[in-house]
Structure 1
Amino acid sequence: PWPIVGSFTAVVVGTVVIGNLYPSLYQRFRVSPNELVEETPYIEHNLTFTRLGFGLHDGACAEDGVGTPCMERRAFAYDNTASIDWTEAQEQMAGLAVWGARPLLTAYRELEALFPYYGFARVAIDRYPTADGELTPVAISTREVEFDGIQDKNWQNIHLRERYVAGVGAVASLAATRSDDFRPELLLRNIPPEAVSGPTAVNDLELERPEIFFGTRTQTETRYVVATAGTEQFAGPDGSPGAPGVDFPEGIALESTLRKLLLAWHFGDPNLVFSSELSDQSRLIHRRQVVSRARAVAPFVDFFEDPYPVIADGRVIWILEGFTSTAAYPLSALYDFGPRRRRYVRNSFKVTVDAVTGDLAFYRVPVRDPLADAVEEAYPDLVLPMSEMPEELRGHLRYPRVLLDLQNEVLLQYHQETARTFQQQQDVWDIPRELAVNENEVDYAPEYGVYRLPWESESRFQLTTVFVPRGRENLTAMVVARTDDRGVPELTLLDIPVGDQVSGPRQVESFVEQDPDISEQFSLWRTSGSQVWTGHLHLIPVGNRIVYMEPVFLAAEADAIPELRRFVVSDGRRVVMTPSLEASVAALAGAPPVGLIATDPTAPAVTATEGGAIAPDPSSTGGQADAWPAEALRLLEQAEERARQGDWQGYGAALDELRALLRRLGGEAG
């Protein structure tokens, strides 16, 4: 027994010494006194592989696009003494989306739902060409069936009637401007959908097949619908009975009793067997939620980004972002991606779903991704090359928000380039905060816009966000993300030296809150019972400076249609708020270092000076002193019109504006 006892003792002692004592002694006497030297190789590997895993490698991006996704890092040469080319700034800001999802959904539901069983689930910001070929940001939302709005929820209505099983078209509006009544400038409206004409119209919004059989709403209540071609429903464009797979989804033909029995058993609904309204020509359609439809075909691909609709070839096409991801990538840090934690993520697939037929197509983005390569090898008939995607759709590819959100989280620490800086966490970043509804603070969110970077000649559709140093509010970096027409990601990180003290989002919003004229206007609106909130604060580089723009919304009550009433523009030190973007830019170009509230008729006249900068017109002798009667008359007429409409909240708001104008004039006269 002694050999056994000795062996057992040796194992126990060895386990204690080797498993616990030796590592602690090594850490205490070898690593701790030389921590940076000992850990540098491991930190460098972690930095390199984490950046590679999340597409943030700061290296030579492959010019042909077939390479590892990477990030171009540039030092932004900020110069607070440089003059701002306000003509260029105005052109750039004119391409920024000022309408957010909340005010747009409220407006769309009130103005364009038209029937109680239609609704709008979400809004997407996209870009479409104008008549002169320039891109402009457009907000678009599909009109889908809202189950709770169906008054009589009998079996026929929720499963057989086209008006209750298919949405109709979409609503679109300019995302960067407003109408004369402060509401969204609609481009596509009504049932059947009509694209507007005139100076505000954009191209490619005509809908010839407006049916939305496949959308984003969950199908819990209507797991299936049945389409039977006829002249009154599920018909073709000429009014004749429609063709499956062309005018409505192909579905499953109910051509035999056995098939009906099996489907009735699967869905737990005997009506599929006994209903006299079904025939051999009827088609059962299910999996109509576009994400679940794509996931059923490719469960190995992640779909965490909201699908967005594109109007192309006279119909609505959904575009989904397909991701590959794994936690098995070596030496990379773990980050949350959807419900899981991942060390590696790629946006390697763009998936399209036809809203009429439900046809799916998977397109491979030409970037290096072994996981996507494996999918192509395993399912060669599933994945198509990006070159086969219709050109009309390729023009609407974009950088996914969910991917940039993930990369932002990684960059908070992994932007640090040396092992020493990372080990000591000397330069950690944070996501800044900004104001939202009811002055609540939220994390600064990336937003889409059409503008160009200072070293580029053409405007592009890109997603922008910013960073601040941890514990501080001044700007330290900006990230601009976009894709080319093949979906290849392009990521640019602009480093802004902290010593330049460039204002961050909350600092600029503090300037707005502290300005006496602006705060007085906000107080007047709120005193009259209106809700006032600011939209997304945009930051864009112009030359060697950063300019800021923020919309201000007014709503008479909680569920009222929001009105875009003001535009705040800032150069980081001064703020101006007027009823139009043009007036704000013009006022700031010649404004004193304090806030100014102006209106379109009273804004200083401007001329273009050498170099394109905007300056006050020296020949202008107008200003508020000459133009205030017209503005006062406009406000009075607006108040009278609101009174005739019975809009007493709006009536009070107009009177408050008139009172504020007269008070300012009285102060100037005094």
Structure 2
Amino acid sequence: MSMRDIFHGGGEGKPLNLPALKFKKGLLVLLALLVFSTVFFPAFAKFYTDWLWFDARGFSAVFWKQVLPQWGLFLAASIGAFIILTTSWLLARKDAASLDIEGITPIPTKRSGVIVVIVAFLISIMNGLGVKSQWDVVLRFLNKALFSSSDPIFGKNIAFYVFDLPFYSLLQDWLVGILITALLGSTLIFVLAWIPQMREQSHFSLPQKARRHLSVLGALCVASWGAGFWLERFNLLFSPQGVVFGAGYTDIHARLLGINVMFALSMIVAILLLVNIMRRTWKLAAVALVLLVASNIVIRGVYPGIVQKYVVEPNEYQKEAPYIQYNIESTLKAYGLDSLKTVDFLPANSVTWEQIQKEKETINNIRLWDYRPLLRTYKQLQEIRSYYDFNDIDIDRYNLGGSYRQVMLSARELDLQQLQNPTWVNMHLEFTHGYGVVMNPVTEIDPEGKPVFFIKDLPPRISVPLEIERPQIYYGEKVQPYVLVKTKIKEFDYPMGGANVRTTYEGTGGVAIGSIWRRLAFAVRFRDSQILFTDAILPESRIMFYRSIGERVRKVAPFLLYDNDPYLTIMDGKLVWVQDAYTATNLYPYSEPVSTPAGRINYIRNSVKVTVDAYNGEMNFYIADTEDPLVKSWAKIFPTLFKPMDEAPASFRKHIRYPKGLFLIQSEIFRTYHMKDTNTFYNKEDVWELPKSGKAGSLNAYYVIMKLAGEERAEFMLIAPFTPVGRDNMIAWIAGRSDGDNYGELLVYQFPKQKLIYGPTQVEALIDQDPEISAQLSLWSQRGSDVIRGNLLVIPTGDSLLYVQPLYLRAENSDLPELKRVIVSSGGRVAWGERLEEALTNLLGPAPDKGIQKAKPSIVTQKREPDGSLLEGKSPEVLAQEAKIAFEAAKEAAQKGDWAAYGSRLKELEEVLTELLQRLSETESNKIE
């Protein structure tokens, strides 16, 4: 059979007859059963059991609101594509079959029409499947919410870029793809029909019907492609090619012009192709297409390059300044930094006992337990059995007996990989849940250097006014296999002596699995026939799956981004997980993007707080930011999913906190975008960075309880210091507030640039140079102990800064760290002690109202200040370090033209060098003696 026979029948005008393929009926039935059992039934089982899961959690409407739009979009895209393709190709087939070719009688066959329809159907299905995943784009377009600002170039509300533009781009991409496919298919049909004519005739001309058909399709293709230029105008506001993210001078004055010209030319070419229907030549259309391609190269490639090189680059700042300003303003708004408060902060030279006594809540909540050694301690002291595990350490605060305390805690979850006998019964019926939590205050240490526990052991022993009614943990951070509860098999609850305590689940978690049909569906879903054949299942039995916090929340609301650190709380006698969720987009004009595990974004809000009950798995999605347009849109789409924060229990609102994921993103942005002056920003004169802690890695953000200046009470907040890029001194610190009406407020305390404030790296250097500390650390290491230095914390205390670093020892053959020393520093002095109070006494002398005997101090005790007061006790090494710091500060002041600061730094350098020479002279005299 030749290709022409598809359109003209058999040779010599005879109808085409193909031999029928014969299949045995039994083989067809077997093949159908095989496809059903391996493809359709497993897919149906997963779909059905997912619906059961959503329905059991009260989210049935959420399930169907995600499923139905997907398949609705699939059908709309598929049907639309099928209509366009079949209409175009059947018309082309009809025109091709009517071509007057000498010696061949055109006999259209039914088989050719069937082939066209089948091919169109398959392509349409694939097209629909490709578009189906964009259901959220359509729903957000239909349920948009306005932003409070507009873009500075076109004056459109930001909602146009976030909600409308993605939908228009999706529609345009779909239409261009389908029309090009229709054009290529129609061209192929005509080519197959023309093959005999091209072989038998020396002259070939395109018939009028074919010209008309291809001209219309070509015009539609060019017009829909040209519509993309109209959309591309707005995409210029996301250009990465300028000095900053967003459209720059060249984009607005050259590329935008080129895009507008291309849009106009594409419409002209589309019109010329339609005019070509009446002409017998393709010359005009061909010339127009060539002009379109050439214009695209010249106007969009060459011309912008010329403007950039000869107009912008010689005058870059003057040309780009307005667009830098747009970028700064948009970025601050997009990351919620436009309302950030900046406070000038001039710290005192050193912390005093008076400040410490005024800031008792801050001092009593300084975190001496670092996450890493504390997690090892938990594992060694409180796992109890090998099949328990602590996944990570969470930090929170509680009012305990009238005292506001910062605590660290962790859930004791199951680690089924450590089961000695991992049978099906053990994995899915008996070992179903973890048990209890461990909690300790951040500051207290027992005489052996171990944490003092508020909650410990099995069953939980609690020494503070907290209650846990349901210590069982069926839902946690670890990914766990499915389990069956309320069965004939009693569940393992917790070990006690030589026996085990057993229990039967009494909650509403999981999905009912009593019927044979549900058992069959779950057996297929999990590919586990034991579910079907076990006799342990009762009519009231339930199956639990999607048991990790991350799995659960992402299954219900996959359109949100989630913080990577859900934390455990004790609320009203229940163990409840709190998961911070974010709304984000990468479509905020002029806003600088950042990279996240979920991709690049340039707008983010912590709009949703999710709670997950550790016993029942119950989930609540609370709207935390009612002003966020993205969450407003999602709330319109899923009205039954979200709840206002006012409906949250008061006990929950006491435990919400500023999320670290958002805080770190905002800190990363603010380190550059605190420079609001365009000239300063352009020259990158004052870029900051989060400091490094040399002995313990990056100094990450950390939670503290402290009292801000002007406030009456201490509060829970997240803070982090900043240092200038390439420098070690501290320049500012940022705080995210978490308590009460202050939740979500960002503050930045900025230090004066003319005053040297020690940064973490410099304090680390002072610690390393302390002879007593250095000698003791070396001695411990020589004895085989592993010295673990915790993160160096910068604690604002009144109008001073206090640096605190815990020091742990771990024996060579043990994995149990013990807190052996606490190092403190303030005003350039360093001291340590076995406890925080002792270290402070060594640093400051005896507390005036307690008469505490001063412990043996570190050798490094005082520093020399720029006022000329002689503070003795520095070693030559430390003085040399201070001289270097003062010299670098003087150079920086000279570069900035700050001559007052320059003179102050030179005076400080002179004093330090004088003291250094005196010390060196004394050392030489001692040697001679």
TM class, shorter-chain normalised?
0.7 to 0.9
Aligned equivalent of 1:93: 363
What residue is the counterpart of 1:286 in the other structure?
545
Partner SS state of residue 549, structure 1: strand
Give the AA of the match of 2:515.
S
Tell me how far 1:83 sits from its aligned partner.
Answer: 6.1
- Within the candidate set 796, 809, 827, 1:541 is matched to 796
Counterparts of 1:447-486 in structure 2, within 5 Å, are 447-485=702-740
Deviation for aligned residue 1:183: 0.2
Distance in 1 separating the partners of 2:328 and 2:555: 36
Give the structure with higher Rg (CA). Answer: 2
**1:227 maps onto 2:485 in alignment:** yes
Q: Distance in 2 between matches of 1:78 and 1:574?
A: 15
1:321 aligned residue (580, 594, 599): 580
1:11–1:339 distance in 2 versus 1, CA, 3 Å: closer
- Between 564-573 and 487-496, report the one with greater CA deviation: 487-496
Contact 1:576 1:588 (C-alpha < 8 Å) held by counterparts? yes
Letter in 1 for 2:687: V
CA displacement at 1:498 relative to structure 2 = 3.0
**CA shift for structure 1 position 91:** 4.8
Alpha-carbon shift at residue 53 of structure 1 (Å): 1.1
- Quote the residue 1:149 is aligned against: 418
Shift of 1:448: 0.9
What is the match of residue 210 of structure 1?
Answer: 471
Correspondence for 1:124 = 394
Alignment CA distance shift 1:14-1:362 (3 Å): closer
Instruction: Choose 15-24 or 256-265, whichever is displaced more.
Output: 15-24
Aligned to 2:605: 346
Equivalent residue, structure 2, for 1:629: none
Give the partner amino acid of 1:443: S
- Distance in 1 of aligned mates of 2:618 and 2:741: 21
Instruction: Give a deviation string over 1:126-169, Cα, whole Å, max 9, x none.
Output: 111121x12111111001101122111000000001xx110011
Paired position in structure 2 for 1:594: none
Contact 1:89 1:547 in 2 (8 A): no
SS at match of 1:402: helix
Say if 1:158 and 1:623 are closer, same or farther in 2 by CA, change over 3 A.
Answer: closer
Give the CA deviation at 1:79: 4.2
Classify the secondary structure of the residue corresponding to 1:498.
coil
Alpha-carbon distance, 1:305 to partner: 2.8
Q: Within 5 Å, give how 1:620-635 maps onto structure 2.
A: none
State the shift of 1:232 in Å. 4.6
Contact 2:433–2:473 under 8 Å retained in 1? yes
Cα distance change of structure 1 residues 177 and 83 upon mapping to structure 2, 3 Å threshold: closer
2:748 alignment partner in structure 1: 493
Unaligned runs of 5+ residues in structure 2 are 1-281, 494-500, 858-929
The structural deviation recorded for 1:13 is 5.9
User: Following TM superposition, by how much is the alpha carbon of 1:403 offset from its aligned partner in structure 2, in angstroms?
Assistant: 1.0
Q: Secondary structure at the match of 2:367?
A: coil
- Look up the match of 1:420: 679
Aligned to 1:23: 304
User: Which protein has the bigger strand share?
Assistant: 1
Distance of aligned partners of 1:526 and 1:15 in 2 relative to their CA distance in 1, 3 Å threshold: same
1:212 aligned partner, one-letter code: I
Q: Distance in 2 between matches of 1:143 and 1:248?
A: 20
What is the Cα-based RMSD across aligned positions, in Å?
2.5
Deviations 1:439-478 (A, max 9, x none): 4x51110111111122322111111111111111000110
Q: How far did 1:552 drift?
A: 1.0
Equivalent position SS for 2:329: helix
- 8 Å contact kept, 2:657–2:743: no
Structure 2 CA distance for partners of 1:56 and 1:154, relative to 1, 3 Å: same
* Secondary structure class of the residue paired with 2:735: strand
State the 1:30 CA deviation.
2.8
Question: Alignment identity in percent?
Answer: 33
2:346 paired residue number: 77
1:106 counterpart residue number:
376
Give how far 1:367 is off: 4.0
1:191 partnered with 2:458: yes
Q: Look up the SS of the partner of 1:352 in the other structure.
A: strand
Structure 1 residues 340, 168: CA separation in 2 closer, same or farther (over 3 Å shift)?
same
More divergent stretch after superposition (552-561 vs 308-317): 552-561
What count of residue pairs does the alignment treat as equivalent? 568
Give 2:315's aligned residue.
34
Q: Which residue of structure 1 aligns with residue 534 of structure 2?
A: 275
CA distance in structure 2 between the aligned counterparts of 1:579 and 1:117, rounded to whole angstroms: 35
Corresponding residue for residue 606 of structure 1: 847
CA distance in 1: counterparts of 2:789 and 2:716, whole angstroms: 23
1:354-365 pair list within 5 angstroms: 354-365=613-624
> Could you list the runs of 5+ residues in structure 1 that have no partner in the other structure?
58-69, 591-604, 609-613, 626-670
Q: Deviations over 1:600-623 (max 9, x none)?
A: xxxxx4314xxxxx9x78xx7x86
Deviation at 1:230, TM superposition (A): 6.6
Hey, what's the Cα distance between the residues in 2 that align with 1:386 and 1:32? Answer: 51
Q: Distance in 1 between matches of 2:479 and 2:440?
A: 25
Go from structure 1 to structure 2 and tell me whether the alpha carbon gap of 1:624 and 1:399 turns closer, same or farther (over 3 Å shift).
Answer: closer
Distance 1:83 1:207, change over 3 A: closer
CA contact (8 A) 2:488 2:536 kept: no
What per-residue deviation string (whole Å, max 9, x for no partner) do you get for residues 396-425 of structure 1? 111111111111211221111111111111
Partner of 1:173: 440
Distance in 2 (CA, whole Å) between partners of 1:4 and 1:213 is: 69
Confirm or deny: 8 A CA contact 1:462 1:482 kept in the other structure. Answer: yes
Question: Is the Cα contact below 8 Å between 2:728 and 2:759 reproduced in 1?
Answer: yes
- Alpha-carbon contact 2:593-2:600 (below 8 Å) kept: yes
CA distance in 2, matches of 1:248, 1:559: 41
**Alpha-carbon distance in 2 for matches of 1:241, 1:585:** 50
What SS does the corresponding residue of 1:160 show, helix, strand or coil?
helix
For residues 4 and 232 of structure 1, do their structure 2 counterparts lie closer, same or farther at Cα, with a shift above 3 Å needed?
Answer: closer
CA apart distance, 1:486? 6.9
- Relative to its length, the structure with more helix (as a share) is 2
**Contact 1:432–1:506, Cα closer than 8 Å, also in 2:** yes
Q: In structure 1, the residue corresponding to 2:767 is in which secondary structure?
A: helix
Deviation at 1:22, TM superposition (A): 2.8
Shift, 1:314, TM fit:
1.6
Quick one: structure 1 residues 325 and 559, their matched pair in 2 at CA, closer, same or farther if it must change by over 3 Å?
Answer: farther
SS, match of residue 398 in structure 1: coil
SS in 2 for 1:165: coil
Q: Is the 8 A contact 2:716 2:739 kept in 1?
A: no
The residue number in structure 1 matching 2:234 is none
SS in 1 for 2:749: strand
Q: Residues 533 and 553 of structure 1 are in contact (CA less than 8 Å); yes or no, is this contact kept in structure 2?
A: yes
Which deviates the most, 184-193 or 78-87? 78-87
Is 1:477–1:493's contact at 8 Å kept on the other side of the alignment? yes
Distance 1:26 1:452, change over 3 A: same
Q: Distance in 1 between matches of 2:283 and 2:488?
A: 93
Residue 236 of structure 2: aligned partner: none
Partner residue, 1:647 = none
Aligned-residue offset at 1:485: 3.7
Task: Give, in whole Å, the separation in 2 of the partners of 1:562 and 1:536.
Answer: 15
Provide the rounded CA distance (Å) in 2 between the counterparts of 1:142 and 1:327: 36
The residue aligned with 1:643 is: none
The question of 1:554 aligning with 2:814 is answered no
Specify the SS of the correspondent of 2:306. Answer: helix
